[in-house]
Every structure is written in C-alpha cells, then in structure tokens.
Chains A and B, each alone.
Chain A
C-alpha cells in the first residue's frame, strides 16, 4: 500500500516537474520534423516517420530518466525530504520500489501519448493498419525505459546525481551492444571468453526491446518475444531493485 502512495507521489512530481511535458512536446516536434523531411527521403518517408517516432520515445525517455530518475532518491537525501518519509512505518525497500514504479508509470504514460501521436500521423498518411506494430514497439520501449529507470534508481540511491547519470548512461550504451559482446565472446580465448560471457549476461540486453525495424515495415513480432521481453524486464528490475534495497538498507541519513 505504501509503495502505491510513494509511486503516486513520484508520478505527481514527475508530471508537475515539466520535464515529461517537455518530452511530449519534443516528441511531437520530432514527428513534425519527420513530416517536413519526408519528401527528401526518396520513397522511405513512411519508414523515416516510424523510425524517428519510435526512436524519439526511447531517446527522450532516456533523457527524462537521466534528468529525473538519476536524482530521484539522491535529491530527496540532499534536500532531506526523505527524513519525513523514512521516519514513518515505511520500509526502505518499499520506498525504492515506489520511486521506481512512480517514474516508470509516468514514462509509460508519456510513451503512450507519443505512440498514439505516431499512430495518428500514420493514420493521416493512410497507414492506420500499422497500429499493431506501433503498439508492440511502444510497449517494448516502455519495458526498456522501465529497466533503465530501475538502474537509475539503484545508482541514485547509492551515489550522487552526476555519477548516477554517468553510470546509467554507461549501462544503457553497454546494454545496446550486449549481443555484439556475446558474439565477440565466442571468438575470445579461454578465461576471457568466460569473463565476457558473464559481463554480457549481467548487462541488460536492450536489443530484446528493439523491434523498430520490423515496425517500420508494418510487421509484428511474436507473442513469445513479447512474453520473453516482459519476463526478462521484470526479472532484471527485481534483481536491480533487490540489490539497491540491500545497499540502501544500511545507509545513514545524516
């Protein structure tokens, strides 16, 4: 119950913070720009619109996580607003889960709005049938941002906002190349191979959430892929938040 309260409050903060409103405006501007650039795309205007629309959800979401998520807990510690919360019957782990859930929820809402806007533009272009691939891609982008938020909350609970931003960005970039790293590991010798495989397994595999190429040609992915990605995102978030909670539990608030 208390996790829901913290989540609601974090959601409210994110919405009133204007960063997310800015994200929506920026996403809409990107879509408009794509329409202006469409005649120059040599027949690939539709693909450009879908690609840019979906990429902007992920990129702007990442920006929002970097601006809001990485200071989500650190800011509360710095401003000492956390004193009024943790001095109540609120377990620290529940507080972290609430923070993560609140910001993730806000990012889902924004992703949904931008996804709807993208579908609206496609409908105007006579491609309303693209709703299923767009919905799938937006869903997976939402999952991806949920995982990034969990990572940001973990670092925010343990470090300063600047360092949290750097670590989160590092994880995001490394996670994009997770499959490449695994591929590289197969060619590496002995112990290096084992080490690289371990690293690849520990890093978030963000390529699992990328179906933009499929969506841009109007194709959908399988239900199994969606299920697997959902399960993976939930499991990864649970592990990251459990790690964060364990470290946060012993922290002193001076």
Chain B
C-alpha cells in the first residue's frame, strides 16, 4: 500500500531524507567486522517468484545495514517496503536470494545464530491447546534452557507481561492483546542478547503500548540489542537510538532520530491575533507561508536566519504577535515526505521505462 498522498509533508523533509542514500562504504561497514555488530546485513536481496505465472517480484534489494550492540534500532517503512522480509530472513524463516547476514557475529545460515535471539513475529499465533506457562516453558527449552529454569522463567515472564493470574487459561481463550503480550514474553523468556520485534505495538491498547515501551527500555538498560519495526512513529521516536527507513525494498536512510528530525529543517511559527491584510514581501515568498485558523493568523518561516526580520516586519505593521514558537519536524512528517518522494520517483522510473 502506498502512503496516502493527501497528507501534507513538512517543508524540506523530503530533501532531508533523500540526500544521503545508505550503502557501501558510507555505512562504515568496512571498518567493522560482523562480530562487532548485533546485526550485520551485506547486499541482502530477496525476490519472490510466483509458481503459476513465474513472475518475479522484488522484496528486498541489495540491503546493507548494521545494528550496533546495545542499541534500540527502529526499522520503518510503509506496508510492502520489505521490513518483514528482512526480519524473516534474519530469523531463518525466509531464504535470501543473495547476500549475507550475521546475528551477533554468526552467519544466519547457522541455526546456532538464533540461540541468543528473541523474535516476536507480526500478529503472533500460538498453540491454542496449551496454557501460557506450558507455552513459555516449551519455547524457553527450545532456545536451550534446562527444564527447571525454563519453568521458573516461564512463570516469571508470564507475570511480567501481566498474565500471571491466568496461568492455567488455555491460549484459545486469550484476547488479541493478551496474545501479543505472550508473544513478547516468548521472545524474552530465555534472556536473549538480541531481540527482533515485528510490529510489537500492533493490537495493543495504550496501556499495553506503554508496557511494551517500558520492556524495550528495560532491555536496553540490560545491554540487550533491540531491533523492531513499527508503524507507530511516536513510539519509534521515543525509543530508538537510530532508525532505518526502507522504501520499496531499498534502504533510504539510516540515522539517529535527532539527525533525521534536525536534518528536516527547523521552522518558526508566528501566532498573530486577527486576520491582518498583509502582502508577503517577494524576498520571503519561498520561506514564509500564511494560514488562518479560528480567528488567528499563523506565519510559518522555514529560514531561521530571517526570524528577527520577520518579527520586526510584523510589529512595524501593527500586527499583535502573540507567540513565536520554533517548530520541529516530527519523524512522521519526515517519513511521509520520504515515502511520497519515493513513490513519485518510482512513478517517474516507470514512465521513463
């Protein structure tokens, strides 16, 4: 699904994301070895081929990416961008068409690379004939824990995600939110060093989302690496040290949240009383816009160096300036702008082809 085109993009946001395509040496991969990273991906490509029409579709294209140990890494992209494909390749559920990847220094082809991994799939499903403790004990033992510690960890984690009072309840009676919590407990029950979560906030109410956020932060404090995909961008902005934006199977950008947001260009908003009749000077037409809402006029300036000049110009014309507020682009605005820019580019490529 393409992002909705009617949403207004923040000024300058598209440029901020388009300027630094990620890959090759720019990512600094040559200096680090796979063992230094929690996740290292080199030239990962995945194409799907239909059994009937033999038509191939691209899921992922030459992806290069590194996730450092101990960081919380957000993996963003619209539906169909290739996020789940990447995560499934890393966790052994899909085979890459080409390229390599390592988890905690071990190639993903080795089954043992998943011993220290915790994974929460998107919309997790479970054996509905088991109860919560039985399920968590089972998966903990599959990850290598001995029987007794696995049972203890299962009970502890069931309580930790708020399901401890319903130990004996079979999973077929769990609600969607309860299943999501159980999935999270299953990803964490064996104390992994790396956690990969595919849409961990999906299906959760605000309390559930807060609990997941707390769990992720708790894991970061323990030194655990967390890589997660999400559509809930305010959560990503709050939690992540770095984010990657994936569009149409290609990596558009990897940066810290701060870099992305600052790089999007700051704006300054002047809130003025009434609806003054003013003609904007020609010199500021590129950087100053006007909007009227509920009896007030809002001037938005995208060039911070002109702040004093604009303020002086408004005051000189008798306008009552009620507030001057610096505005920051949100990750959501930047993301939407990048998605739109990519969609336009793809459309151009199609036309020229």
Contacts and interface: CB of A to CB of B under 8 A. Distances in A.
Interface string A85-105: 111111100000000000000
A191 interface: no
B114 A83 contact: no
Given A9-B138, A12-B129, A89-B112, A83 B121 contact: yes
A252 B84 CA distance: 13
A89 B143 contact: yes
Given A86-B92, A89-B114, 9 more contacts: A6-B142, A12-B129, A13-B129, A83-B121, A84-B124, A84-B183, A88-B119, A250-B95, A252-B93
A87 B129 contact: no
Given A86-B92, A90-B111, A254-B94, A81 B126 contact: yes
Nearest to B170: A16
Nearest to A249: B95
Interface of B: 48, 88, 91-95, 111-115, 117, 119, 121, 123-127, 129-130, 138-139, 141-144, 183, 186
Nearest to B124: A84
Contacts of A91: 111
Contacts of A214: none
Contacts of A183: none
Contact of A87 (B92, B112, B125): B92
A185 to B, nearest CB: 35
A186 to B, nearest CB: 41
Contacts of A9: 127, 130, 138
A81 B113 CA distance: 20
Contact of B142 (A2, A12, A254): A2
Contact of B139 (A16, A17, A88, A253): A88
24 contacts: A2-B142, A6-B142, A9-B130, A17-B129, A79-B125, A80-B125, A81-B127, A83-B93, A83-B124, A84-B121, A84-B126, A87-B92, A87-B119, A88-B139, A89-B115, A89-B142, A89-B143, A90-B111, A90-B114, A90-B142, A252-B93, A252-B95, A253-B93, A253-B94
5 interchain residue pairs of minimum CB distance: A87-B91, A87-B119, A83-B121, A253-B93, A89-B115
Contacts of B111: 89-91
A254 B57 CA distance: 13
Contacts of B141: 5
A252 B94 contact: yes
Given A84-B186, A89-B114, A90-B142, A13 B127 contact: yes
Contact of B125 (A12, A17, A81, A252): A81
Contacts of B121: 80, 83-84, 87
Contacts of A85: 139, 142
A19 to B, nearest CB: 12
Contacts of B93: 83, 86-87, 252-253
Nearest to A79: B125
Main secondary structure of the interface of A (DSSP, over half): loop
Nearest to B89: A252
A2 to B, nearest CB: 6
Nearest to B110: A89
A171 B125 CA distance: 32
Contacts of A80: 121, 123-125
A6 B141 CA distance: 10
Interface in A33-86: 79-81, 83-86
A87 B114 contact: yes
Contacts of B113: 89
Nearest to A2: B142
A40 to B, nearest CB: 43
A84 B95 CA distance: 17
A234 B68 CA distance: 48
Nearest to B84: A254
Contacts of A253: 88, 93-94
A157 to B, nearest CB: 15
Contacts of A88: 114-115, 117, 119, 139, 142-143
Nearest to A253: B93
Contacts of B124: 80, 83-84
A16 B129 contact: yes
A88 B121 CA distance: 12
A252 B93 CA distance: 6
Contacts of B115: 88-89
Nearest to B186: A84
B48 to A, nearest CB: 8
A83 B90 CA distance: 12
A106 to B, nearest CB: 13
Interface in A199-224: none
A150 to B, nearest CB: 22
A5 B142 contact: yes
A180 to B, nearest CB: 36
Contacts of B130: 9, 12
Contacts of A81: 125-127
A252 B46 CA distance: 11
Contacts of B94: 252-254
B201 to A, nearest CB: 18
Contacts of A87: 91-93, 114, 117, 119, 121
A84 B126 CA distance: 8
Q: Tell which of A84, A86, A253 has the most Cβ of chain B within 10 Å.
A: A84
Contacts of B123: 80
Nearest to A8: B138
Nearest to A252: B94
Interface string A132-166: 00000000000000000000000000000000000
